[in-house]
Amino acid sequence: GDSVTQMEGPVTLSEEAFLTINCTYTATGYPSLFWYVQYPGEGLQLLLKATKADDKGSNKGFEATYRKETTSFHLEKGSVQVSDSAVYFCALSASNTGNQFYFGTGTSLTVIP
Amino acid sequence: GAGVSQSPSNKVTEKGKDVELRCDPISGHTALYWYRQSLGQGLEFLIYFQGNSAPDKSGLPSDRFSAERTGGSVSTLTIQRTQQEDSAVYLCASSLGTGEKETQYFGPGTRLLVL
């Protein structure tokens, strides 16, 4: 069945460091891919999404490119800030599975000054 | 409303009791989803509703779990005879439709603790 495998954390980085959080997926159809973020004490928020191969989603300095050939949707940011400390979830949604979302287990990121 | 709301925000109950969790989706959103987030785990899909169609209950972990959606809006997730392993954060999400491009908007969750 459809699934998402996400880089395990926790990840600790210094401010202004480069961030990559790996995400790969398995899907029988052509899913849409999402990154959600959960800041401490808050609910899940959409960070970015891509709906077809080679699309790049971007928001708040974060980027992820939908790579069909490697079934990946890695999250990157060139220079992280303390305020980026949160848990990041990769997810997919595919019409052949009723459009329910499949989430990865989440990656906790802590950015230290 | 401006976003998805859930109540209560926290619920402590004793093993064996029934609990009801409520979700108010964003106005106009026809799709509504329930997920469970256990400590150290990812999000586990439970059930979803789309308009007047029969709900997809494929993620419900046992027959102690049920959900309904009245009038195509508010939804209630009921857990009967709660067990300690039911302790988790229960998240509700809504979307404009169920197209695969549709973004799901999440509520703040209900944190359930079963003693």
Backbone angles phi, psi at B86, to 5 degrees: -80, -10
Instruction: Give pLDDT tens digits for B26-48.
Output: 998 988 999 999 876 778 889 98
User: Would you call A100 and B48 a contact, using CB atoms and an 8 Å cutoff?
Assistant: yes
Element counts in chain B: helices (H) and strands (E): 0, 10
d(C-alpha A100, C-alpha A88), whole Å: 19
SS3 content of chain A, % helix, strand, coil (to 5): 5, 50, 40
Closest C-alpha to A25, from A66, A62, A58:
A66
Instruction: Give pLDDT tens digits for A79-103.
Output: 999 999 999 999 998 766 556 788 9
User: Would you call B107 and A100 a contact, using CB atoms and an 8 Å cutoff?
Assistant: no
Q: Torsion angle of alpha carbons B46, B95, A9, A97, nearest 10°?
A: 60
- Picking from A46, A51, A101, the nearest residue to B101 by CB comes out as A51
Taking the Cβ of residue B42 and every Cβ of chain A, the question of whether any pair is shorter than 8 Å is answered with yes
Instruction: Give pLDDT tens digits for A35-82.
Output: 999 998 888 899 999 998 999 999 999 999 999 999 999 999 999 999
